[in-house]
Amino acid sequence: MKKEKKKINLRLSSKDLKEFKEKLLKLKDELSSQIKELSHETLMKSQKDISGDISGYSLHLADVASDNYEREFNLGLVSNESRVLADIEEALKRIEDKSFGICKSCGKLISKTRLNAIPYTIYCIDCQDKFEKNKLI
């Protein structure tokens, strides 16, 4: 008598893919709005506008340093959010080619719990842990 092999589902259902696509599109819109707002606040205003100074007096060095720190911090946020936005775009492409939800390292299905938490992830939790422990990521 032959042993029957259990068929392991390596794909998400069409319904799941549709739900993750909607989630990713919503997240993409939110991030795009945040990036636009932060970029406008940071890049489109002069030092005087940022500080709110309406007097004719020159700005104090401590105020300038504080404003510069805030500007650099906002630019860092924009940079990070732009990277996440690129990851979201890649996840949307994986949905289209039906490879979404499959770990890029081990090829196993990424848990729905993990995908709900980080829908643009490319690694299952085990591989992510391994990479972080080995500092490969």
**Sign of the alpha-carbon torsion through 53, 59, 64, 66:** negative
Together in a domain, 33 and 64:
yes
Together in a domain, 79 and 124:
no
Total domains in the chain come to: 2
- The pLDDT, as a whole number, for residue 39 is 78
Which structural domain range is residue 34 located in?
12-46+60-100
Please state the rounded mean pLDDT for residues 111-124.
96
Q: How confident is the model at residue 135 (pLDDT cuts 50, 70, 90)?
A: confident
Pair 116, 16: CB distance under 8 Å: no
As a whole number of angstroms, the distance between CA 27 and CA 37 comes to: 15
Q: Is residue 28 part of a domain?
A: yes
Q: How confident is the model at residue 20 (pLDDT cuts 50, 70, 90)?
A: very high
- The pLDDT, as a whole number, for residue 4 is 47
- The pLDDT, as a whole number, for residue 7 is 43
Together in a domain, 127 and 70:
no
Together in a domain, 33 and 92:
yes
Q: Give the CA-trace dihedral at 74, 76, 80, 83, to 10 degrees.
A: 110
As a whole number of angstroms, the distance between CA 54 and CA 62 comes to: 17
Between 49 and 15, the more confident residue is: 15
Q: Residue 47 has which token pair?
A: 């030092």
Q: Is residue 2 part of a domain?
A: no
Together in a domain, 23 and 86:
yes
Tens-place pLDDT, residues 56-68: 445 566 666 777 7
- The pLDDT, as a whole number, for residue 93 is 97
